[in-house]
Amino acid sequence: MQKTFTRSLPRRVPVTLAILLMLTLLLKSLPAAAQTDAKRTAREHFDRGVAAFADKRFGEAADEFETAYRIEPVFQVLYNIGQVDVALGRSVEAVDTFEEYLKQGGAAIADQRRREVRTEIDKQSARIGTVTVTSHPSAVEVRVDGRPIGKTPLGGPIRVNPGRHTVEAMLAGHVTQVRAVEVAAKASVVLELALEAIPAPRAAAPSPAPVAPAAVVLTPRAVSPAPVAAAPQAASVNWQRISGLIMVAGGLATGAVGGLLVYDGANQASDARDQLVALGDPRTFSDPKWNDSWNAADARYTAGRSRNRRGWIVAGVGAAVLTGGLLFLVTAPERTAGGGNALALSPWLPIEPGDRGGLVLGGDF
């Protein structure tokens, strides 16, 4: 016997629209938050590079400055990268980096800084040597210290730093040439490379064709076909319910992460604000150490506020995902042993005058 009961539910359209509006606002705010995170990450790498340069850990400083420039490509970082190249004795890289710095900076670079960079470019250019490579045949790929340069004929001499370098010349079907050269400052080395062709392997004599034996025809004995077992039917999987459970779990986890960010950011901002209040108005002091303390506290306060805002955003996303998962679970059909739906929601549209629209909650018993 089937028994169906109905209940007119309150209107949920405004709730759904509110959820969609909240998700839209959150999605619009995510790029701005991501941009703020990128700037903060780039600043952290830059500060670590400055500290490493001050400790004369130039290799580490180069990695930090280059990482900061990849994340946030501002031309000011190129000046620091050029300084590290000078400290490491990489004159070619220093000249290229300083030239790019002047090109990108343009009128934003002060005249004194521009003269300083031009002087350093002239100084480093005086330490650069060149290697001229010619080859026979042409179209040979040239590498210097493992770095691809191009194919011959090259557009001009190859600039290198003073010291020992390895020049490779490669061409398909030819023996690779490898030369080690010592280049001094402002010196020019000429390499003429002749690549020998690799001889083609001699073709082996063809072996005599094998004689095929006479074909033997066998008549198979008739075998009655075995009965084919019926394939078992796959169990029905309620994907909507599984999706709802996944969304509920994801929403709870995301909300928990957002709550932790909100709590941590609020504590950080509160501590930094207390420190700023204790330090006083920065306009009444001129001590550089005091100014550094005030700036550090202000940076921590800004970072705490930013983390607090991100926490609220993440918590809102978690709440939206959790709400969607609950809706999926409520509206998911469930099969009974008899094959009917144990629970189902369906829209009820008004037909007769005076009827009210809503949802019908039905069940099989």
Among candidates 345, 316, 318, which has minimal Cα distance to 248? Answer: 318
High-pLDDT (> 70) share of the chain, %: 68
Query: Could you tell me which CATH class the domain 129-194 is placed in?
Result: mainly beta
pLDDT tens digits, 35-88: 778 889 999 999 999 999 999 999 999 999 999 999 999 999 999 999 999 999
pLDDT tens digits, 213-225: 555 555 555 555 5
Sorted by sequence, the CB contacts under 8 Å of residue 143 that are 6+ apart come out as 149, 167, 168, 170
Displacement of CA 340 from its chain's centroid (Å): 48
Give the integer Cα–Cα distance in Å for 16 and 324.
10
Binned at pLDDT 50, 70 and 90, residue 9 comes out as very low
Judged by average pLDDT, the poorest of 60-74, 253-267, 286-300, 337-351 is 337-351
Binned at pLDDT 50, 70 and 90, residue 89 comes out as very high
- Average pLDDT of the residues in 270-293: 71
Give the CA-trace dihedral at 334, 335, 338, 344, to 10 degrees: 40
What DSSP assignment string belongs to 174-215? B--EEEEEEE-TT-EEEEEEEPPBPPPPPPPPPPPPPPPPPP
Residue 228 confidence (pLDDT): 52
Give the CA-trace dihedral at 308, 314, 318, 323, to 10 degrees: 90
Here the tokens at position 340 are 């009917």
Cα–Cα distances (Å) from 96 to 7, 64, 68, 158, in that order, read 76, 19, 18, 14
Residue 227 predicted with pLDDT over 60: no
CATH number of 36-125: 3.40.50.2030, 1.25.40.10, 3.40.50.720, 3.40.50.1100? Answer: 1.25.40.10
pLDDT tens digits, 185-203: 989 999 999 999 999 887 6
- Average pLDDT of the residues in 120-128: 94
Helices (H), the chain: 13-54, 58-71, 76-87, 91-105, 111-125, 239-279, 288-331
Binned at pLDDT 50, 70 and 90, residue 238 comes out as confident
Residue 333 confidence (pLDDT): 66
Most confident of 171-175, 205-209, 280-284: 171-175
Residue-range domain boundaries for the chain: 36-125, 129-194, 239-332
Question: Taken in order 39, 43, 45, 46, is the CA torsion positive or negative?
Answer: positive
- Average pLDDT of the residues in 116-131: 94
Residue 273 predicted with pLDDT over 80: yes
pLDDT tens digits, 324-333: 878 877 777 6
Among candidates 29, 89, 25, which has minimal Cα distance to 62? Answer: 89
| β-pair partners for 135 | 193
Residue 354 predicted with pLDDT over 90: no
Residue 2 predicted with pLDDT over 50: no
At 71, the amino acid letter reads: I
Averaged pLDDT of the chain: 79
Residue 8 confidence (pLDDT): 47
Sorted by sequence, the CB contacts under 8 Å of residue 324 that are 6+ apart come out as 19, 247, 251
- Average pLDDT of the residues in 160-173: 94
Give the integer Cα–Cα distance in Å for 172 and 187.
32
